[in-house]
A and B are shown apart, each in its own frame.
Chain A
Amino acid sequence: MESNWAAEHLQVIRTLMERSALYRRALAPIMIFNGATGLIAALLGRTLNIGSPCSFILFWAGVGVVALAGSFLLVRRQALKESEPFWSPPTRRITLALLPPLVAGLMISAVIFGRAGSAPGNSDSLGGMLWLPLIWVVLYGCAFHAAGFFMPRGMRLFGWAFIMGGCGLFAVGFADGLRPLDYAHGVMGVFFGGLHLAYGVYLYFTEQRGNEP
């Protein structure tokens, strides 16, 4: 039937257009690196008793910079290995999608940092700002959900896991028996460490097969 081949052609065109617009870098090493960084940082933060709002924000901002730099190098290495441009159109789209929630998180943290630093009696305990790690988790989830439209579908679910997890913990509230220090670094470790690591390991075993045409 003449219409069959035409419809099939249109389907092939659609599939190829979708495929070329998707981000193709292997995400498993990036996720595993970020997961390991998050877990180590959470343990370090807890061990070093990083418990004041200012030091907590500074510490995790530093961890974020390390994670970002590591991810950048991993992506760049993949691009070089495959003789492809680093700043490709899909990379641009992903970056633009990630930016708004991440910038929002940065701005909120900067304001909290400024206020916590100047407010008397508020600089030695995380107790009054335990919602901040949850805000970070939710915004990070929003960022990945937005980027997921240009990535394999699993990335949007990954974003949802952060959003729902962060909102869920917010709804449950802070348990009385927990120390603020343990809770704050624990949340960061579980989400930014554990979730990344788990998704990275999952991708490690599935990504190659899934990317084949």
Chain B
Amino acid sequence: MNPEPFLQLDRVIHEKGRLTIMSMLAATPELSFTELRDGLGMTDGNLTTHIRTLQQSGYLSVTKSFQNNRPLTTCALTVAGRKAFTNYINLLEQIVRQTKPE
């Protein structure tokens, strides 16, 4: 079996928590912090840590604003993040195809 696709997997996205965040954001232009937290069942701290890591990798942008005098944090995938996510999916599909019995 060719190990190349596995070696090419993006380690930032490959972590389970970050993969779930990327997956949710991939299907929608943006999500609020609470939508992500409730959708994934993560704690505030855990989610903040993962968001920071993704932000540092340039995969995710965070916008802070106010709505009705209440702070609102929204997250969205950047162009690089969307590209990295698509690439990750393609590699996963390659791995699945490789080991599929003929």
Contacts and interface: CB of A to CB of B under 8 A. Distances in A.
B23 A17 contact: yes
Contacts of B30: 89
B47 to A, nearest CB: 14
B89 A13 contact: yes
Interface string A118-136: 0000000000000000000
Given A2-B95, A2-B99, A84-B35, A13 B19 contact: yes
* Consensus secondary structure, chain B interface: helix
A84 B34 contact: yes
Interface string B1-31: 1000010000000000001100111111111
Contacts of B25: 20
B20 A83 contact: no
A64 B70 CA distance: 31
A171 interface: no
Contact of B23 (A1, A12, A80, A90): A12
Interface of B: 1, 6, 19-20, 23-35, 38-41, 67-68, 70-72, 74, 89, 92-93, 95-96, 98-100
Interface of A: 1-3, 6-7, 9-10, 12-13, 16-21, 24, 80, 82-86, 88-90, 213
